[in-house]
Each structure stands twice: as C-alpha cells, then as structure tokens.
Amino acid sequence: MRGRKSADACYNFALSGMTHANSNSNHNSNRLFESLIYIGIHELKRVGNRASFPPKYILQMMEKFAASGIGSIGDRMQGSSSSSSYSGTATATAAALYQLGGVCLEKKGYGDKVLLDQLRKGSFGFHSDRPLLWLWRFSARQKKITLSEYYEYSYRYLTKSTSKSKLMTSTSARRSKEHRDRPWHEIFSDVNRPIVVDVGSGMGASILNLASIHSHRKDEDTKKGGWSDDDDDSDSTRSRSRSSGEIFIDWSECNYVGADLNPSMASFGNGVVFRNEKMYNGRVSFFHMEALELLTKLQSYPGNIAMVMIHFPSPYRLMMAGGGGGGLEADTRSGNSQLPTSIGSGFMVSRGLLELISVLLLPKSNSVHSKDDAGVFLFQTKCEDVAVRVKTDCLSLRTMECISCKCPVKNIDRIYDDNGKREGKGNGIGNGRPKRVEEWMKIDPCAERAEGKMWSSIPLLPTKGRPETEVQCEYENTIVHRCMLRPRDY
C-alpha cells in the first residue's frame, strides 16, 4: 500500500464496523489495524519528506487514522504482544505514527503550531476536531432511516425472510438482534456503575471519548464546558455544581450505552470499543435500536442513570399556514426531504420518550434519596424552535425542572446578530437569524425564545466529550441551543 492508502484502508475498515463476537476474530481484526499502522509509518518515512507528497496528504493520513479510533499517546492496539510475528524493534503505536507525521509537517513548513504540538506530544487522537469532522461528513451523507424501515428490518429478521434487506445483511442482522437481547450483566463488567445514555448516538464519538477520560484529570479537555472536576466530593460541592448548571460526573466510573437506527453507526462504535478493549474495560456498548426500545430496556438496568443525552436529533419540518382550510401544514417547499413531516410524525423526541426519561432519571429505590443522586437530561440542537419545544414538553410533564446554567444566554437575537456580522450577514438586532428562525417567527411572533437562565451559552460537556455534530457547528459558526433538566420532587 503506497502513500495514503493505508490510512484510507484503516478508515474504511473502521467505518465497516469490523467487530466479531468471538475473540479469535477480534484478535485478527486488531492485527489488521496494527499492520496498517506499520504501513503508515513506513510510508511516512519513505515519502513524507518528498516534495511530491504535500502536507495535505500527511494531514489526511493523521486524520483518518485517528477517526478510525486509533488511540493517542500510551495507547496500544489490543491483541499486540511481545510474541508478535511482526518485525521491528517495538510494537507499532499510534503515538509513533502521529509524532512522525508532526515531524514531516514541520519540515514542510506547515503553519498550524497547535496541531504540530498535539502531534508531537501525543495529544492528537480520536477526540480531536479534525478526525471528528471526518466522522460528521460520513454521517451527514447517510440516508436517514425511518422507523418504518427499522421495523421492516425487524420483521424480516423475525420472519426469517431470505430476501436481502437494504439495511443489513442477514449475518449482521442476526448479530444485532443477539446483542440487543443480551442481559446487562453480559454487556457490562459491572452493572452497578451509573450509566450515561446517548439516544440517537450517531457515530458514538461523545460517549467513546467521555469513557476514555481518566479519573481526576485536570487538563483542559475535561475542565472546559462547566464540568466540575473538584477533588472535594462533599454534598455541598455536588449541590453547588448541579444548581449552577455544571455536570458533576466521574466519567471514569460510568458505563456508557448508545443507540441509533442506522446499523452502520452502531457497528462503527462497537468496532472502536473492541479494538480498544483494555481502555474501555467492558464499560461501553452500542445498539442498533429505536430510542423507546433502548429506554425500555434500560428500565431493567441495575444501577442509576447518571445522564441521558440527546444531541442534534433530525428536526421536524416547520408547520406553515395552510391553504383553504386555514390550518397548518408541513413546509415541503424546500429543505431536506428526509426530515419528519411534523412533531408527531417521525420526530424522535416524543412526549412518550420524555416521560420515560423522567422516570429513568430517578435514583433506584435502594439508593440514598438526594436530589444530587438523580440523573440529568441534556438536550442540544441547532434549531431554536425545536429546543424550545422539547424544553416546554419536558416541563409540561410536571416531573422535570430546568437546571440554571452557569453562563446563560441573555439575548439570543444579539448572539444571532453578532454571529451574522462575523459572516457579513447581520447589521442590526435579529438580522443574523437563521432562515428557519425567521420562518418560525413569522408563524408565531410571540413564541418563547431560547434565552434566559435555563439556556447555556457555553458547551456543557467536557471538550473531549463533544459529539461530532457539535464540532461541526463550531467550525461552521452555528449557534447551538443547550439546556439541562432533572427530576423534580421525587
């Protein structure tokens, strides 16, 4: 494999979800990825300093290897051992690959000093912006799978249909069904740990990176975004963190579960877990599963639910004034035709789902009944009307309450306008609003806005725990609406 081909192969194999249930297949899969690292190092040594191999080729190699779930400094590919049949003075590591890439880029005069420093010091990896943007681009190209298509897949499996499904092969369908039916104690090494849930997890970057955070780390990756990493674990500290909108969770002590309707997304996440088994240590799993199905399964989970997260669900189409009837109808004139036609027709965050979340966040009956023992619900989206609707639906249940944020949004139109000025669009209050917001304001000029103490102006998760879509929003200068809720009066 010459040039960048080893990185391309590594990325494509990872996207295919190379993971198998038996240990021998898993070992062989890891040996394949280890071989690709060796080839990448060899090719960088061979052509990395040539003028015919420009910096963008080296960057793409680094980004694709990292997006494949290849760890940063100190991480080794699982399945390696001193008895490895591969030649060389040491087992291939991602750190060696990234450091060599940094050296080649520096020699070519590449100007991004921050990236060069990350590559040299080994802090570049799966959590970095550039690899996450590769994952976002892949996920954005995927066809949205509807509930009807998911149920069709389930029906084909249950009826043992011999026809090929458009979604999955019969083998992957069988493995997915077997995984969904496994009891919790077969999925996690310790089912008494609190669990973090990502509903509609996409590529799974958020919980994969949160699960890799070590206990009591003090670096910038864990401290940004309002997460408290204080050594003082007293009740007063916990209460102070929750009341100010900070997330006080020891990520290293949690289990993690994600689910997505797209089987390729779940397979990718499980592939990363299997290739880094020692790091995740039986604490992370992904399901090809519908949201309500996952939350129903979680009712039997023995431990507490620390957090339920919903990141950037596909929004419903705006309801526009109809024709002769004077009612409202979905706006089908433009935009993404794959979006749900209405709130009650295909939008993932239904009232029933929110009711189930509010129940799951309550501490188990055998735990101490303190408000800080209850879990939290984190919701974030790019669409202001969707954010307000979900928050309103949560509060209408009368079982949840908003958590005040440390850095609240004071004036959302001012933020839109400042954002528009940076892009040369805004020149006055409200003139920087996105098109969807403008349409929403025409429909309901008196609508509640995503501003005030319950809306956070800064990320709520650690920098290392951002989902891939949040990274894309930062690069595109897109406003993200975030709120956090918890159970009330239990």
Q: pTM of the prediction?
A: 0.83
User: What is the identity of the amino acid at 450?
Assistant: A
Tell me: do 85 and 208 sit in the same domain. Answer: no
Angle value at C-alpha 452, between 448 and 454, nearest 5 degrees: 100
Same domain, 80 and 196: no
Separation between Cα atoms, residue 169 and residue 171, nearest integer Å: 5
Do residues 198 and 289 share a domain?
yes
- What pLDDT, on a 0 to 100 scale, did the predictor assign at position 335? 52
Same structural domain for residues 244 and 391?
Answer: yes
Q: Would 133 be classed as within a structural domain?
A: no
Residue where one domain finishes, among candidates 110, 125, 140: 125
Domain range for residue 386?
191-313+348-410+451-487
Residue 164 placed within a domain: no
Residue 258 sits in the same domain as residue 394: yes
Question: Which pLDDT value is given to residue 231?
Answer: 35
Of 77, 92, 125, at which residue does a domain stop? 125
| 382/277 same-domain check | yes
Residue 349: C-alpha distances to residues 152, 259, 322, 387 (Å): 21, 14, 25, 11
Q: Note whether 230 and 370 are same-domain residues.
A: yes
CATH number of the domain that residue 392 is part of: 3.40.50.150
Query: Are residue 308 and residue 217 in the same domain, yes or no?
Result: yes
pLDDT in tens, 428-471: 555 788 999 999 999 999 999 999 999 999 999 999 999 999 99
- For residue 22, tell me if it sits in a domain: yes
pLDDT along the chain (490 residues), means of 10: 94 83 53 90 95 96 93 43 33 80 95 94 91 96 80 59 47 59 92 96 96 64 41 35 63 96 92 88 94 95 96 85 47 55 75 95 71 86 96 96 94 90 62 89 94 95 94 94 88
Residues 76 and 219 in one domain: no
Contact present, 350 and 239 (Cβ < 8 Å): no
Q: Judge whether 136 lies within some domain.
A: no
Same structural domain, 120 and 258: no
**Residue 382 is assigned to a structural domain of this protein:** yes
- For the stretch 393-405, pLDDT in tens is 999 999 999 999 9
In a domain, 273, yes or no: yes
Does 140 fall in a domain? Answer: no
pLDDT of residue 145: 80
- 110: in domain: yes
Residues 65 and 209 in one domain: no
pLDDT of residue 340: 65
* Number of domains the chain contains: 2
